[in-house]
Amino acid sequence: MFAKDKMTLSRHMPAIPEHKTKPLAYVLLVLFVSGLFGLCWAKPFAGLIIALLATTGWMFSVVEKRRLRKMAEARKEESICSFARSFDRHSVDMWIVRAVYEGLQKYMESDHDRFPIRAKDRIDKDLDIDCEDLDDLAYDVGARAGYDMTQTKDNPLFGRVATVEDMVMFLMHQPKLKGDEK
């Protein structure tokens, strides 16, 4: 997908591709909201339950955003440099390190402009990333770093990625794309 030669530094990695929301997603959202509105109109008690669930979800979201904001503030002096130094540069592909850091930052940017990532961050507990999003993110990050992501189930770390460091090591076990050898 992305060609690199032996001397290309990771900072010259191509930008993260933008994902655009498909028009079908907006149509489905409108249909879903219309269905909820119709249900609330026909059954007011259902509307009360939906409003209660939405309020509870919103409250949990506010608490989680506050927790992440405090975590980011405590790490404000950290950068990709401190993240990269937590890995042995002779045994880890720095393209993967950069791609993971930037990919996770891109994922976290909806709530934070720049969220400093640490290798020991737990993906689900600290960063609040669910396993479906992690699968998509790992695929995008691996492909961007020049690794084949078609046979991930053959990876010895498949299903055992708990921290950001585990994600880097998982990607290190993936084969490189043909013609993308360093």
Whether residue 166 is found in the same domain as residue 134: yes
Q: How many CB atoms lie within 10 A of CB 136?
A: 11
d(CA 92, CA 100): 12
Whether residue 82 is found in the same domain as residue 166: yes
Q: What are phi and psi of 118, to 5 degrees?
A: -115, 150
| Residue 53 contacts residue 60 (beta carbons within 8 Å) | no
Q: Which two tokens stand for residue 92?
A: 């880890």
Q: How many domains is the chain built from?
A: 2
| Residue 13 contacts residue 145 (beta carbons within 8 Å) | yes
Domain membership of residue 181 (yes or no) is no
- The pLDDT value given to residue 2: 43
* CA-based nearest residue to 157, from 173, 142, 141, 143: 173
d(CA 46, CA 40): 6
The residue range of the domain holding 56 is: 23-74
- The pLDDT value given to residue 46: 84
| Residue 15 contacts residue 2 (beta carbons within 8 Å) | no
Residue in the block written with tokens 């708990």: 162
d(CA 112, CA 146): 27
Q: pLDDT tens per residue, the chain (182 residues)?
A: 444 444 556 666 666 666 666 677 778 888 888 888 888 888 888 888 888 998 999 999 899 889 888 988 898 899 899 999 999 988 999 999 999 999 998 888 766 667 889 999 999 999 989 888 899 899 999 988 989 999 899 999 999 999 999 999 999 999 998 765 54
Helices (H), the chain: 23-42, 44-74, 80-85, 94-108, 131-144, 164-172
Task: Collapse the DSSP code of 122 into the 3-class scheme (helix H, G, I; strand E, B; otherwise coil) and give the result.
Answer: strand
Domain membership of residue 108 (yes or no) is yes
The residue from 43, 74, 105 where one domain ends is 74
- The pLDDT value given to residue 180: 58
Whether residue 107 is found in the same domain as residue 168: yes
* pTM as predicted: 0.75
Whether residue 104 is found in the same domain as residue 139: yes
